[in-house]
Amino acid sequence: MANTSDIPSFKSRDPLSPEFWDERFERDFTPWDLGGVPQALRTFVERNPAPRTALIPGCGNGYELTFLSEAGWNATAIDFSPAAVQRARRLVGQWAERVEEADFFAWQPQQPLELIYERAFLCALPSTMRPQVAARYAELLPADGLLAGFFFFGSAPKGPPFAIPRSELEALLAPHFELVEEGEVVDSLPVFGGQERWMVWRRR
């Protein structure tokens, strides 16, 4: 976790506002950014080589979009922060057209999704938004579709990132999903303090 003295002063304090994230990307304050593709995702793709149609909500810098696209996946990355979208389009190069400025709760896929990749999206939003996020996961994924990624566990109320108690995550997802895979995260960033778990949930 960054020292308080190292954190710049920001005007926006509302993570539900695009301006909140614009400020942080524009000032290069992104302690949640790994700077590459997490090992658990690489391993998952190696074990499941068949390309899938995937959504990356809250894509940030878009590293995973490049990785999945190069693996043959039909991946789309979205973010509601114009600054994040601008940066991601620059970083992903030839895949820039796959980065869209969009609201996760309003975006519609052009074809059925097979996977939603979760990476620092759920934990970026206040706890009051969690039921809406879980409902949207379920709405976007058909039966047997996968919700795969990283979940940040804990009970500390401050954020972002906002940690979630494991029991609460299970209560949110269990009505529509079953947990089919789980593993440790070997490359967690300090901001996540070793509290992440890699999980794959299958839509019932």
CA-CA distance, 174 to 187, in Å (whole number)?
Answer: 27
Q: Return the percentage of the chain with pLDDT > 70, whole number.
A: 96
Within 10 angstroms of residue 146's Cβ, the number of other Cβ atoms is 22
- Mean pLDDT of the 68-73 span: 98
For residues 132 and 160, the answer to whether their CB atoms sit within 8 Å is: no
Domains of the chain are: 4-203 (3.40.50.150)
Q: Report residue 1's pLDDT band, with 50, 70 and 90 as the boundaries.
A: very low
pLDDT at 36: 95
Average pLDDT over residues 48-65: 95
Residue 44 CB neighbours (<10 A): 19
Please tell me the pTM assigned to this model: 0.92
Nearest to 98 by CA among 71, 122, 121, 79: 79
pLDDT for residue 2: 45
The confidence score (pLDDT) of residue 157 equals 81
**Distance (Å, rounded) from C-alpha 37 to C-alpha 15?**
24
At residue 4 the predicted structure's pLDDT band, cuts being 50, 70 and 90, is very low
